[in-house]
Structure 1
Amino acid sequence: MLASKSEKTFGAVITGLLILFSIVALIPLLSVISTSLSSKSAVDMNLVTLWPKQFTFDSWKYIVDRPDLWKSFFLTLSTTLIGTILALLMTALFAYPLSKPEFRWGSVIMMAVVVAMIFKAPIVPYFLTVRGIGLYDNPLVLIVPHILNPFNLIIMRTFFKQFSKELEEAAFLEGCGYFRMLFQFVLPLSKAVLATLALFYGVVLWNQFQHPLFFLQDTNWFPLQIKIRQFITDDSVIMSGAASTAQLNYNERTLRAATVIFAIVPIVVVYPFLQKYFVKGAMIGSVKG
C-alpha cells in the first residue's frame, strides 16, 4: 500500500526531528570524547570543541593503568551480571503465577505491586530497614535491593498473560508442572521480554549511585560510579599516580573526560545486541494487557 503525500510529509518531519535530537544529544558526548583525546595545553586554552586538538592517548594510558579504577570496574561488572540474572529469575518466578487467572490472590498482590511502584519508600525508613537486615557496608547492597522492580514485574506479567494457553494445556496433560513449564517452555520463548528487562536491570545496576553512597563506607567496595565521583570531585585522587605535572600531557579535565567515557562504553557496546529484543519486548509487555 502506497503512502499518501501527507503521510510521507509527516514521516519526513519526524525523521528530521529525530536526526536533530540525535545530533543535539551527541554534542556533549563528542565534546567529552574530544577532551579525553586532546593535549593538556589545548584543553587549558579551551581550544577543544567537537574535535580533538593535539591528539594524544596519554589520558587514556593513565586511566587504563589505574588498578583502583579496574577494581571498581570489575566489582560493578560482577554485580551487574549477577544482579541482572537474579533479578530476571525473581521477576519471572513472581510474574508467572500472577499471570494466571486461577491464582486466587493475584489481584490483591498486583494491587500491592502497583502501590509499591507509585509510592516510593521514604529514605529514612528505607535506610534503617536495609541497615537492619545487615546490608550496611556490605557489597550485597549493590545487588539485593534491585532484584525485583514493580514496573519490570508488570511488563513480564503482561507478557506471560499472552502466552499460548493451548501449549500450556498440552504440556500439563503430559504431566508437566508449573516450574518445569516456566523453565523449559515459557522462558525459552520469552527472549524479547527477558532481553528488555535485562537491559532495564543492567543499566540500573551499572549506574547505581545512591545505594553505594548511602550504605558503603569501605572504599574497597566502591563501585565504578562512586570511583568516578571521586575522580571528578577530588583532584588529589585522580592525579595520585601521576608524575610531575610539568612533564604530563594531560590534566584533571582530560582524565575526567576519559574516565566518564570509560564508564559508559560497556553499556553502549551491549545495547546494539539487545536492541531488536528491546523494542519488541517493550511494546509487547507494555501495550497489551
Structure 2
Amino acid sequence: MFESRGEKAFGAAITIILILMSIVALVPLLSVISTSFSSKSAVDMNLVTIWPKQFTVASWGHMIDRPDLWKSFFLTLGSTVIGTVLALLMTALLAYPLSKTEFRLGPVIMVGVVIAMIFKAPIVPYFLTVRGIGLYNNPLVLIIPHILNPFNLIIMRTFFKQFPKDLEEAAFLEGSGYFRMLFQFVLPLSKAVLATLALFYGVVLWNQFQHPLLFLQNPDWFPLQIKIRQFITDDNVIMAGPVTIGDQNFNERTLRATTVIFAIIPIVLVYPFLQKYFVKGAMLGSVKG
C-alpha cells in the first residue's frame, strides 16, 4: 500500500518516540541489574551505570541461600497460580450468563458491576469487612479478594457475546447444557481472552502489596513484595542470612538490587508465552459493549 510523505514522516516520528520511551524505561532496569552483579567497592564509589563493574555473583549467592526469601517466593508463586486459576473460573462462570440476552437479570447485574468498577470501596469499611470474614492474618487474603475483577469480567463478557449463536444452538440440539457448553465448547475457543486475563490477574496477584500490608502481621506469611520491603527498609534484615566464607563482596545496595530483579524474573519469563494472545484478547474484548 502506497504511503504519502506525511504518513511516512508520522510513522518515523512515532518510531523514534517509542524508541526513546523504551530507552527511558530500560535504563533504570539495566542500572539495577548492573548493581546486582557489581562488587561492593564499585557500588560504594558510584561507578556502576548500565554495565556491571568488577563483575561478581556474590550478592546472588547470598540471597539465593536465604530460606526466608524462598519461603516468600513460593508463597507468592502459589497464591498467584491458585488465585489466577480461581479468578479465571469465577470470571467465566459469571461472564457467560451475563453475555446471554435471555438472562433477564443480566442488565441489572451489569449495572452493579460497572458501579463496582468505578467506585472503589472505602478502605476502612473494606478492612472491617475482610477482617469480619476471617481473613485477617490469614494467607487466604492473598487470593480471595482478587478472584473477581469488574473490568476483567466486562472483557470476558464482551468476548463471549461474539460467539456465533449457530454453534451454541447446534450444541444445545445435541443435548448440551449451559455448563457443558461453557467448558467443552466456549472456553477451549477462548484461549486469547483467557491468556490475556490470566496475565492481568497474575500480575496483580504477584505484585500485591496493600493487602498483605494491611491484613498480614505474621512474618511467616509475608509474600515476596513485603519481604522485599523489609530488605529495602531494614539493613539488618537484608544483611542477615548464612555466613559467607571469605570476603563478602556485597553490601546493602547490591543485595537490594538483587532482590528486586529476583522478584520480576518470573513475570518476565511468563510474558513471552502469553504475548501472542495478549493484544488479540484485549482487542476482542473491547469491540462490543
TM range (shorter): over 0.9
Q: Larger deviation: 11-20 or 63-72?
A: 11-20
Relative to the length of structure 1, the TM-score reads 0.98
Runs of 4 or more above 6 Å deviation: none
Residues 127-180 of structure 1 deviation map (CA, whole Å, 9 limit, x = unaligned): 000000000010000000000000000000000000111100111111110000
Between the aligned partners of 2:249 and 2:145, the Cα distance in structure 1 is: 43
Residue 90 of structure 2 corresponds to: 90
> What is the alpha-carbon distance in structure 2 between the residues aligned to residue 12 and residue 26 of structure 1?
21
- Which runs of no fewer than 5 residues in structure 2 stay unpaired? none
Deviation at 1:94, TM superposition (A): 0.4
Query: Secondary structure, in 3 states, of the residue corresponding to 1:100?
Result: coil
Residues 214-261 of structure 1, C-alpha deviations (whole Å, 9 max, x = no match): 001111110000000000000110111254899311000000000000
Partner of 1:201: 201
Aligned to 1:104: 104
User: Counterpart of 1:104 in structure 2: which amino acid?
Assistant: R
Q: Distance in 2 between matches of 1:50 and 1:131?
A: 45
Give the Cα separation in 1 of the matches to 2:244 and 2:80.
37
TM-score by length of structure 2 reads 0.98
Residue number in structure 1 paired with 2:56: 56
How far residue 6 of structure 1 moved from its aligned partner, in angstroms, is 2.1
Tell me the equivalent position of 2:251. 251
Superposed, which structure 2 residues align to 1:65-80 within 5 Å? Answer: 65-80=65-80
Check if 1:188 corresponds to 2:188. yes
The alignment covers a number of residue pairs equal to 289
SS in 1 for 2:285: helix
1:115-264 correspondence runs (5 A): 115-241=115-241, 243=243, 247-264=247-264
Tell me which amino acid in the other structure corresponds to 1:135: L
**Counterpart residue number, 1:22:** 22
What letter matches 1:212 in structure 2? P
CA distance in structure 2 between the partners assigned to 1:56 and 1:242 by the alignment:
18
Letter in structure 1 aligned against 2:74: F
* 1:41-87 superposed Cα distances (whole Å, 9 cap, x missing partner): 00001111111111100000111111100010000000000000000
Q: 2:182 & 2:76 partners in 1: Cα distance?
A: 30
- Residue 287 of structure 1 aligns to a residue whose secondary structure is coil
- Aligned counterparts of 2:228 and 2:50: Cα–Cα separation in 1: 23
CA RMSD of aligned residues (A): 1.2
Unpaired runs of 5+ residues, structure 1, are none
Identity value in percent: 82
